[in-house]
Structure 1
Amino acid sequence: MRNQEVINKAEVTLGTLKTGGLMNPTQASTFIRMVQNTPTLLQDARVIPMESDSQKIEKIGFGQRILRAGEEGKALEAKDRVAPTTSTVQLTAKEVIAEVNITYDTLENNIEGDNLQNTIMQMLAERAAVDIEELILNGDTKSEDTYLAQLDGIRKQATSHIVDVAGEPLTRQVFKQGYKAVPPKYLRVPQEFRFYSSPGQEVEWKDKVADRQTNLGDAAVQGGLSSAFGVPVKGIANMQPYDADGTDVSDILLTHPKNIILGFSRNIRIEVDKDIRNRKFIIVLTAKLDSKFEEEDAVAKIIKVKE
Structure 2
Amino acid sequence: MTNQEAIRKAEMTLSSLKSGGLMNPTQASAFIRMVQDTPTILKDSRVIQMDHDTQKIEKIGFGQRILRAAQEGKALADDQKAVPTTSTVNLSTKEVIAEIDITYDTLENNIEGEGLQDTIMQILAERAAVDIEELIVNGDTSSSDPFLAQINGIRKQAASHIVDAAGEELSRQIFKRGYKAVPPKYLRIPQEFRFYTSPGIEVEWKDRVADRQTSLGDAAVQGGLSSAFGVPVKGIANMQPYTIGEADVTTDVSDIILTHPKNIILGFSRNIRIEVDKDIRARKFIIVLTAKLDSKFEEEDAVAKIVKVKE
Q: Considering the TM-score relative to the shorter chain, is it more than 0.5?
A: yes
5 Å-filtered alignment, 1:190-229, equals 190-229=190-229
Q: Does 1:146 align with 2:150?
A: no
5 Å-filtered alignment, 1:121-132, equals 121-132=121-132
Q: Quick one: which amino acid aligns to residue 216 of structure 2?
A: L
Q: Quick one: which amino acid aligns to residue 46 of structure 1?
A: R
Q: Compute the TM-score of the two structures, normalised by the length of structure 2.
A: 0.98
Aligned twin of 2:299: 295
Aligned twin of 1:50: 50
Aligned twin of 1:10: 10
Distance (Å, rounded) in 1 between the aligned partners of 2:198 and 2:186: 24
Q: Quick one: which amino acid aligns to residue 263 of structure 1?
A: G
Aligned twin of 2:268: 264
Q: Quick one: which amino acid aligns to residue 56 of structure 1?
A: K
Aligned twin of 2:310: 306
Once the two structures are TM-superposed, the CA of residue 83 in structure 1 deviates from its matched residue by: 1.1
Aligned twin of 1:274: 278
Once the two structures are TM-superposed, the CA of residue 51 in structure 1 deviates from its matched residue by: 0.7
Shifted more, 1-10 versus 36-45: the winner is 1-10
Secondary structure of the residue aligned to 2:288 is: strand
Aligned residues: 307
Q: Deviations over 1:145-171 (max 9, x none)?
A: 000000100100000000001000111
Aligned twin of 1:168: 168
Distance (Å, rounded) in 1 between the aligned partners of 2:274 and 2:211: 50
Secondary structure of the residue aligned to 2:295 is: strand
Q: Quick one: which amino acid aligns to residue 280 of structure 1?
A: K
Aligned-pair identity (%): 81
Distance (Å, rounded) in 1 between the aligned partners of 2:173 and 2:3: 59
Q: Compute the TM-score of the two structures, normalised by the length of structure 1.
A: 0.99
Once the two structures are TM-superposed, the CA of residue 2 in structure 1 deviates from its matched residue by: 1.2
Query: Structure 1: which 5+ residue stretches go unaligned?
Result: none
Q: Does 1:284 align with 2:288?
A: yes
5 Å-filtered alignment, 1:95-134, equals 95-134=95-134
Which aligned runs of 4 or more in structure 1 are off by greater than 6 angstroms? Answer: none
Aligned twin of 2:230: 230
Distance (Å, rounded) in 2 between the aligned partners of 1:279 and 1:13: 17
Once the two structures are TM-superposed, the CA of residue 107 in structure 1 deviates from its matched residue by: 1.6
Aligned twin of 2:257: 253
Distance (Å, rounded) in 2 between the aligned partners of 1:128 and 1:109: 23
Once the two structures are TM-superposed, the CA of residue 105 in structure 1 deviates from its matched residue by: 1.4
Q: Quick one: which amino acid aligns to residue 80 of structure 1?
A: Q
Once the two structures are TM-superposed, the CA of residue 109 in structure 1 deviates from its matched residue by: 2.0
Q: Quick one: which amino acid aligns to residue 273 of structure 1?
A: D
Question: What is the root-mean-square deviation of aligned Cα atoms in Å?
Answer: 0.5
Aligned twin of 1:30: 30
Secondary structure of the residue aligned to 1:169 is: coil
Once the two structures are TM-superposed, the CA of residue 112 in structure 1 deviates from its matched residue by: 2.2
Query: Structure 2: which 5+ residue stretches go unaligned?
Result: none
Distance (Å, rounded) in 1 between the aligned partners of 2:283 and 2:165: 52
Secondary structure of the residue aligned to 1:185 is: helix
